[in-house]
Amino acid sequence: MVKLSKRVSNVQSHSAVVSWSSGRATACSYELQLKDKARDGKYKLIYSGEELQFTLTDLRPATDYHVRVCTVCDSVKGPSSEVRAFTTHSAPPDTPLPPRLSHRSKSSLTLQWKPPPDNGSKIMNYILEWDEGKKNSVFREYYVGSQRHCKVMRLCPAVGYTFRVAALNDMGTSGFSTEVVFHTTGSVPQGSLPPRLLEAGPTWLKLEWTRPNSCSAEEVLTYTLEMQDESKGLDFQAVYSGLELNHTVEALRRNSLYKFRLIICSGDWRSAPSSTLVCKTSLEQPGAPLSPEVVTVTQHSCSLTWEIPEDDGGSEDLTYILQMSEDSCKGSSSRQWVTVYTGAERKHTCEDLKAASSFSLRLGSVNDAGQGQWSDELIVCTRIPSPGRCHPPSIVGTVKHKELSLQWGAALEERERLTFLTFSVPPDSPLCAEENEALQFSLEMCAVDDGTEPTEVYGGSRTECTVGNLLPGTTYRFHVRAANSSGFGPYSDWVEISTAAGPPEQCSPPNVTVTSHTCAHVTWQSNNLLIPQNLASSGMGVSEYRLDWGADLESMELVYSGTETQFQICSLNASTEYCCRLQAVNQAGAGPYSDLVRCRTPAAPPDSICVVQQLDHPLTLEEGDVYTPSTCVALTWDAPCCNGAEITSYSIHLEERIICTGNTTFLIIRDLLPDSEY
């Protein structure tokens, strides 16, 4: 166990020496712990090592301390030694804080200070020294006593005085505090002058002001600059408070009015606000506007419009400058921009331009601060001229009866392929693509005699087309015109073209009237009634009709060919379904068959019985029947054709008697005389 010496040696106000003996322990280290009873009362490790003595430093004067020590071998702590107590000696007071100003006037300053730690000996007096306002770093005692405040009298107004303070006890005198300067008050200015504008920017204003002449150079003045922004209200708000004689107010709006006033403060007085200074921030050059937009373009003009720049520089009163350069000079040193418009309007029409030409346009905006940057260039291309008159359409190949194949040619000047100009191009592509523009054609048609308005039958880029769904032997009028990006050109001259005569149209279904079970009467309408008189001689008139008749479509046969519009068909079967169709023929050929018409002949009485036979003995007899050949005759016959209606009965005439029977082909006649002929 480690043993401390009986007492702590060489105790001073801020230090003491602690020693101990090692006992039997070897190759061990020691840990010294210290406890300050006046603080938290906990031991703190002060020293760790192999020495048997340690000097404690940084102790507080007149303070009770406890120390103890223990051994440490291989990270294992032994028991602590007995505790030794000691008390440090008293000392002069600590250096006090500088005095504070509690009140001032034009001829006096009242100071206060706080007592510093006395270090175990009561503070007896305080020593206040000053420089008498001479600023020469030579201090003289002004006050010595036990009070912690002092009023310094008979001072000059608006003068600064330097003070320092020290404390004294039985152990000695502390060091002097840091020096501090206090000023007596001066006279309140009659009125502060307003601030002055030094320089104005678009978002800032730099102001300055003058120190009042009535205040001495020693008096500390604080300046408060207040600003009124009418967009935020009518109250003045402080934008600066300090000792400087100038200030730059920032974060302002461009081209806006602001009002400023100044207030001066010195100690206990505050001046009234100065008169108001009205300032205005400056403008900036407007930003680059967006490129103009094309409204319309013709062969010799283009109409443009544009928007206000996003950044107007702080002024809505802008003047626009529109410049143009012909792109034929692009890239050459001789390229020139020509101003074509200057004004406040946001639209303009450029006139007297070359057709089928490309132009570059740029837009700039100007305000009182100057001109901003140019917009990006806009490429505008005037339109090519409209096409000339086309050659009239003409027939291609053979004239047909329901369609005409036509072709035409563009006007001579259109064969010189005009340059096709686009209106907007990507930044990396050529300004104008030199491609041949394909012409579009419009072919119109009307019949000569029906008085209808012409209608378009073809629209496209080809110079030929086939017009279908026409009437045979009919004269039609045609004309054609061409179009490009500038619009349509004039129509060609009219040309009259007739279709060839064609086979007759499909006949209307014939009317079939069944007159008996063996005959039918067929009638139909003449197609010649539908043909105009002036075309009947052109081959369109019907030369004959063909009537097909049969039980079904596969069994049809030609039963009539001629110019009549009726025909009687005989030798039909009773109660049989028939069908027929009609076809008209002219010089161009046979027309299509009409729709099928179906009919059915009515039923008729049965045909006559050909043969009646006598049987020697009936084949069958009903139960209970007796057949006697001497008085009975058995007859049988074949059933005749019923002609569409079921046979209901047979009548047998026996001399003057009539015997009726049902639908049977066998009969036994009884009660006859033997050996008699009937």
Per-residue pLDDT tens over the stretch 363-395: 999 998 888 899 999 999 988 888 889 999 999
Whether the pLDDT of residue 354 is over 50: the answer is yes
H or E element in which residue 590 lies: strand 589-590
Burial (0-12, 13-18, 19+ Cβ within 10 Å), 52? middle
Identify how many contiguous H helices and E strands the chain contains and give both numbers. Answer: 1, 55
The CATH number of the domain covering residues in 394-498 = 2.60.40.10
The architecture of the domain spanning 3-87 is Sandwich (2.60)
- Across the chain, mean pLDDT equals 86
- Which of the four CATH numbers 3.40.50.150, 3.40.50.300, 2.60.40.10, 2.40.50.140 does domain 293-378 have? 2.60.40.10
Q: 12 vs 37, which has greater pLDDT?
A: 12
Would you place residue 531 in the very low, low, confident or very high pLDDT band (cuts 50, 70, 90)? low
Which H or E run includes 533?
helix 533-535
Q: What is the pLDDT of residues 122-133, one digit of tens each?
A: 999 999 999 988
How far is it, in rounded angstroms, from Cα 650 to Cα 273? 147
Give the whole-angstrom CA distance, residue 200 versus residue 256.
11
- Tell me which residue has tokens 């510093």: 116
Residue 166 has pLDDT above 90, yes or no: yes
Judge whether 503 and 591 are in contact, CB under 8 Å: yes
User: At a CB cut-off of 8 Å and minimum separation 6, what does 252 contact?
Assistant: 203, 204, 205, 258, 281
User: How many Å apart are CA 624 and CA 635, to the nearest integer?
Assistant: 19
- List phi, psi (to 5°) of 410: -70, 165
Question: Does the domain made of 196-280 have the CATH classification 2.60.40.10?
Answer: yes
Single-letter amino acid code for the residue at 428: D
Q: Which residues contact 363 (CB under 8 A, 6 or more apart)?
A: 289, 291, 292, 306, 320, 321, 322, 323, 374, 375
Q: Please list, in sequence order, all residues whose beta carbon lies within 8 angstroms of the beta carbon of residue 46, skipping any fewer than 6 positions away.
A: 32, 33, 34, 54, 56, 67
Average pLDDT over residues 8-19: 88
Residues of the chain with CATH 2.60.40.10: 3-87, 100-183, 196-280, 293-378, 394-498, 511-600
* Fold of domain 100-183: Immunoglobulin-like (2.60.40)
**pTM of this structure:** 0.43
pLDDT, tens digit, 9 for 90 and up, residues 437-470: 678 999 999 988 877 899 999 999 999 999 999 9
Distances, alpha carbon 148 to alpha carbons 114, 169, 174, 176, 589, in Å: 7, 14, 15, 15, 144
Return the CATH number of the domain spanning residue range 511-600.
2.60.40.10
Residues forming beta bridges with residue 548, ordered by sequence position: 558, 581
